[in-house]
Amino acid sequence: MAKQSIGVFGGSFDPIHSGHIRVALHVLDTCELDRLIILPTGNPPYKTCEASAEDRWKMVTAACAFDSRLVPSRLELDRPGKVFTIDTLLDLKKEYPSASFLYVVGADSLMKVGNWHCSREVLSLCSFVVFPRNTVGSNELLSEVKRLEAMGGKVRVLPAAPVSFSSSELRASLSSATDSPALSVAVLEYCTCKGLYGAPVRVAQAGEWVDGLFSSLKPRRFAHSLSVAHEARRLALLHGIDPLRAEQAGLLHDCAKCLPLSEMQSIALSHSLTADPAFLSSEALLHSLVGAQVAHDRYGMTDPDVLDAIAFHNTGFPGMSRLAMCVCLADSIEPLRAGYPRLDKVRALAESSLEQALLLSLEGTADYVLSRGLYLHPRTRNTIEWLRDLVRRQK
């Protein structure tokens, strides 16, 4: 088996932001790594984190979910006492005995490596890749690189980091409840749900909800749910719909998505949700109906309009409310959604017309399903026809 080349990127990630992710992806590509392990630290020896270890872990998981090469690790979070790099590297060597390790640091951190606990052993276990920063002069950095190399270390200096943001500035800006390109929408929504860093909480139950969703969903689905909530709220504000209900439905719309089909079927049958064989045999169809029941039973959602928006977010339904349109559309265009042929057009239309955008989205879904000889449920067909008529009458 070929020897793996693994990057290690540690930090408090308080919170993890777009600069961290862009640096991680740049290192992965530039250094041709197989994977990059993201290590939020649990109890850093030189600083105090504002967010709890568990909140930082969930944010890191959501931020990394879109790329399988980014591998969050709890190694430092679960280690008791002060956390030192040497312990992490020794644990990683046990887990990946034949791998070579490349440790990612900024220039300011590199200047301290020589004084780290067991620094010579650290230098023997991994190479370093460093990004210059304005806080460290080029001559000073070069001098430190030479000193570490004299100690037996290997250091590669890359060009300046693609984007650098200050976590302290981000924490201060979150209290203003404004979107920031420095945070992924999933992390931004998580901070708002939990009221982290002074972010105003909009959904009273959201803190408990996101904990439940994190436990029951796969990482990518968890990040998607946060992103849909953010997008549903944005669309609601844009089109004069209750943003709170849109955000609630967006958060919970996929709460049953990762249940085994057998459990979905049991819930559907015991609550008489459907007798349709097409629904009962398909996770893709059934999770929405079951999701509304789970949202009611496990998350305490009782608003019938929110429950309808959850129940029909995948197929739509003739006569659906504009709230339900928001959620259905947000599900298909949220910022983390992988590209598909009509995505840019649907997103553009969503700025001016929910109905036209949702129609184009569902037509694209129907074309995709039918072109592959798959089953298109009649409810989706009927919703498309209803939307076509609605759009004609609006013109």
Domains of the chain: 5-157 (3.40.50.620), 256-394 (1.10.3210.10)
Amino acid 107: pLDDT: 87
pTM exceeds 0.85, yes or no: yes
Amino acid 137: pLDDT: 82
| pLDDT tens by residue, 239-287 | 999 999 999 999 999 999 999 999 999 999 999 999 999 999 999 999 9
The list of the chain residues with pLDDT below 50 reads none
Amino acid 352: pLDDT: 97
Amino acid 162: pLDDT: 65
Q: What is the 3-state secondary structure (H, E, C) of the chain?
A: CCCCEEEEEEECCCCCCHHHHHHHHHHHHHCCCCEEEEEECCCCCCCCCCCCHHHHHHHHHHHHCCCCCEEECCCCCCCCCCCCHHHHHHHHHHHCCCCEEEEEEEHHHHHHHCCCCCHHHHHHHCEEEEECCCCCCHHHHHHHHHHHHHCCCCEEECCCCCCCCCHHHHHHHHCCCCCCCCCCHHHHHHHHHHCHHHCCCCCCCHHHHHHHHHHHCCHHHHHHHHHHHHHHHHHHHHCCCCHHHHHHHHHHCCCCCCCCHHHHHHHHHHCCCCCCHHHHCCHHHHHHHHHHHHHHHCCCCCCHHHHHHHHCCCCCCCCCCHHHHHHHHHHHHCCCCCCCCCHHHHHHHHCCCHHHHHHHHHHHHHHHHHHCCCCCCHHHHHHHHHHHHHHHHHC
Amino acid 164: pLDDT: 61
